[in-house]
């Protein structure tokens, strides 16, 4: 039997047990079904400051601000798969998700300024990701801003292949439970993320 696939799950909503986290949990059920080793973090409960644009990551490829992001960055370099879940705020990621994403400027610097590998060893093999977003309206462009953010974020953290699960019209807590089709999609995509 091969090495177990490690999955890092980032629940970024400030509302614990909200719609995006419920969808994430369903996704992770699928990942575990396929044998994934899952670690889930509630990043909104962690001390993650916004990027201060100090530019020090251009020198060595790591963020100089010392807070909970340092531990997350270490995990990002070690895992095989990553999934991030967020509610939609003003057509974009919630502030807690965006702070974490912006701090990944350090990864972007490592990759595109320093032309450095994600890590020295073991060699980086196939890394895949997924994003989950839940919005309260039915607007056709509800996820357009998040799509662009995710495209560039995944590139920065050395992930070229990723999937998404999107849910409209889930605002009040637990409303996502009224959308079995989306819950099923999350489960299936969780399985797919882990499959090699």
The answer to whether position 1 is within a domain reads: no
Q: Which residues of the chain have pLDDT under 70?
A: 1-2, 123
Range of the domain at 127: 6-194
DSSP codes of every residue in the chain: --PPPEEEEEE--SSTT-HHHHHHHHHHHHHHHTT-EEEEEEGGGS--PPP----THHHHSS----STHHHHHHHHHH-SEEEEEEEEETTEE-HHHHHHHHHTHHHHIIIIIS---S-SSSPP---EEEEEEE-SS--TTTTHHHHHHHHHHHHHTT--EEEEEEE-S--STTGGGG-HHHHHHHHHHHHHHH--
pLDDT at 2: 57
pLDDT at 138: 92
The answer to whether position 64 is within a domain reads: yes
Q: Which domain CATH number covers 174?
A: 3.40.50.360
Domain total in the chain: 1
């Amino acid at each position: 039997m091969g090495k177990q696939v490690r999955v890092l799950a980032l629940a970024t909503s400030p509302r614990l047990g909200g719609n995006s986290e419920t969808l994430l949990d369903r996704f992770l059920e699928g990942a575990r079904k396929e044998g994934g080793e899952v670690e889930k973090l509630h990043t909104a409960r962690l001390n993650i400051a916004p990027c201060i644009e100090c530019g020090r990551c251009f020198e060595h490829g790591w963020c100089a601000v010392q807070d909970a992001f340092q531990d997350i960055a270490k995990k990002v370099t070690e895992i095989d798969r990553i999934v991030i879940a967020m509610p939609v705020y003003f057509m974009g990621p919630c502030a807690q998700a965006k702070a974490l994403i912006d701090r990944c400027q350090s990864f972007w610097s490592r990759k595109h300024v320093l032309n450095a590998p994600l890590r020295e060893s073991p060699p980086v093999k196939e890394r895949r990701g997924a994003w989950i977003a839940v919005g309260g309206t039915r607007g056709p462009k509800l996820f357009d801003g998040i799509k662009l953010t995710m495209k560039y974020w995944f590139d920065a953290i050395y992930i070229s292949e990723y999937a998404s699960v999107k849910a409209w019209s889930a605002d009040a807590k637990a409303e996502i439970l009224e959308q079995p089709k989306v819950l099923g999609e999350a489960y299936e995509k969780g399985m797919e993320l882990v499959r090699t």
